[in-house]
Chains A and B, each alone.
Chain A
Amino acid sequence: MKEIELYEPRIVAFFCHWCSYGAADLAGVSRMEYPASFRAVRIPCTGRMSPKFILHALRQGADGIWVSGCHPGDCHYGTGNYHSRRRLELLKNMLDYIGIEEGRIHFSWISSAEAEKFQQMAIRVVEAVRGLGPNTRLVKSVCSNCIPPVPTCDTMHECYEPLEEIPGAPRPNGSCCGGNGL
């Protein structure tokens, strides 16, 4: 039980610029306490939400997803959230169907005035994901699934030993390699 309490999930939250993002701000300046387990990504409108974003977050190791936007009828652009509502309803059904646990993916409508709802929702999302533990489904791993003769391993350090540095090999350099060290 203790371990579960200690486990901090990584949640990617997509907030609409015009409402839920503001609600997060308001909750902050109002000194409301809420868990810090999610990374907020500001999107212009929930209509911008693509299923790809959700799958990409899971793929990169997110344990949970939370998408929040304006109440139906209140979209800054008129109909963005109406469209995303259909898309996300269907996507959630599909992800349920293939076995992504119910509590990993959350959607909500939170206006910029609803700091309290934001706080409650944040607690609810984090608790649900924490209860499920780390996500293993649809996660891309560049280390497992090695194909023989390269042995399978959980962390690279277990099954590999470093060679000495290759003489003359280029150093990671932000200017020429996009800074990703390749």
Chain B
Amino acid sequence: MMKTRTEAIRAAARTLLEEGRVDAVIGYVQGTIPLRAQPFVAYTPEECDRFIWSSFCGGNLASIASGRTDRVAVVAQGCVSRNLNGLVHENRIQRENLYIIGVPCIGMLDQRKVEAKLFGRNIEFLKRDPEEDLGEIVVGGCNAMGECYEEVIKRRDVKRDNCYTCMHRNPVGADTVVVEPVSETAGGDINAVATPWMRFDADRRWEEFAKNFEDCIRCYACRDVCPLCYCTTCFVDESNPQWCGKTQDSADVQTFHILRAFHCAGRCTDCGACESACPQGIKMRRLTSMLEKDVRTLWGHEPGMDSTTKPPLSTYRPDDPEDHFK
């Protein structure tokens, strides 16, 4: 029988550590509450038995690998493997120190969407988490009075937004791929949904933009979870000149989000970690997906498809489009 992803990851990780080919393996372990997974660094073969793969591995392990100098193996689905390729190019990781354990991915689920379907009921367990795209998960729980329930939810109803339009679900440039590849794309058309505000006029676009980011609490989870954000001092922390104030004024919050997104332009793999991390449920991808669409249209670039191509904003062509220049 074919191994499940969890079994295959454990076996691959264990072998790597046993054979001494890496010093550590970065993967996920079961979270302390249902619908969560926790990044974990295993240093011994025994610790590898804690690894899991679930529908809720919505972070980005490339950010944990980034900047490490020991030899690490990273459990990576399509988007994360592309981030790793990018980080190799940017010299954040040496390729010879990196081993990519590739996992073909069927898309992660948005725990908020699952919770919303069960509003007011506690989720105490995830009973079934199938490895088929069109499968159904089963969640359930009990209340204080001892009344219990179980609910069947279709995966396709509660996927994360970015996972509907994923372009590369299979790992890119992985050293090993632990299970059979899945269909390369998730089926959704990213270009069709990347710029939802484009149909409005400027005033309305501004309104939508302001509304989209009004709940931001400046916790910077979107920045900190992102493998592309590794500056020693982020521009929001610079004080002279102070590019971005520290307050909750809309100008400060908006400046942060514009620059954060722009700094990721041409490098973002649409992994969705920023939206998964946000405690306020803000849709940062409204900006990043627009930028990536432009990057594809203007310069035909797809980030992270190998570790040698320069990101589009670090290079040029003499005949680049220049519609905005007079």
Contacts and interface: CB of A to CB of B under 8 A. Distances in A.
- Touching in the complex, A and B, CB below 8 A? yes
A89 B318 contact: no
B205 A99 contact: yes
Interface string B48-66: 0000000000000000000
Given A72-B318, A94-B291, A100-B206, A140 B245 contact: yes
B287 interface: yes
Interface of A: 51-52, 55-56, 59, 72-73, 79, 82-83, 85-102, 105-109, 121, 124, 137-141, 145
Interface of B, secondary structure class, is: helix
Contacts of A107: 324-326
Contact of A94 (B207, B208, B258, B321): B258
Contacts of B266: 90
Contacts of B96: none
B243 A52 contact: yes
Contact of B313 (A90, A98, A145): A90
Contacts of A140: 245, 249, 251-252
A177 to B, nearest CB: 14
Contacts of A55: 243, 255, 258-259
Contacts of B245: 140
Interface string B288-326: 001100110011000000000000111111101111111
B120 interface: no
Interface of B: 195, 197-198, 202-209, 235, 241, 243, 245, 247-252, 254-255, 258-259, 261-262, 265-266, 287, 290-291, 294-295, 298-299, 312-318, 320-326
Contacts of B287: 94, 97-98
28 contacts: A51-B258, A82-B320, A83-B313, A85-B316, A85-B325, A86-B298, A86-B313, A86-B316, A88-B324, A89-B321, A89-B324, A90-B262, A90-B295, A93-B324, A94-B262, A94-B287, A97-B209, A98-B254, A99-B203, A99-B206, A100-B202, A107-B324, A109-B326, A138-B251, A138-B254, A138-B258, A140-B252, A145-B248
A97 B205 contact: yes
Given A98-B258, A99-B205, A108-B326, 18 more contacts: A55-B243, A79-B316, A85-B316, A86-B299, A89-B321, A89-B322, A89-B324, A89-B325, A92-B324, A93-B290, A94-B290, A94-B294, A97-B197, A98-B254, A102-B202, A109-B326, A121-B326, A145-B248
Contact of B235 (A52, A82, A94): A52
A89 to B, nearest CB: 6
B310 to A, nearest CB: 11
Contacts of B251: 59, 138-141
A98 B205 contact: yes
Contacts of B255: 55, 59, 138
A101 to B, nearest CB: 5
Contacts of A99: 197, 202-209
A103 to B, nearest CB: 10
A108 B262 contact: no
B65 to A, nearest CB: 28
Contacts of A85: 316, 320, 322, 325
Task: List the 8 closest pairs (A to B, CB-CB), nearest first.
Answer: A99-B206, A99-B205, A82-B316, A98-B209, A140-B251, A108-B326, A92-B324, A107-B325
B217 to A, nearest CB: 15
Nearest to A55: B255
B262 A51 contact: yes
Contacts of B295: 90
A138 B299 CA distance: 28
Contacts of A138: 251, 254-255, 258
A91 B262 contact: yes
Contacts of B203: 99
Contacts of A121: 326
A117 to B, nearest CB: 9
A109 B325 contact: yes
A88 B295 CA distance: 12
A1 B262 CA distance: 38
A140 B197 CA distance: 24
A88 B235 CA distance: 19
A54 B28 CA distance: 41
Nearest to A109: B325
A15 to B, nearest CB: 14
Contacts of A73: 318
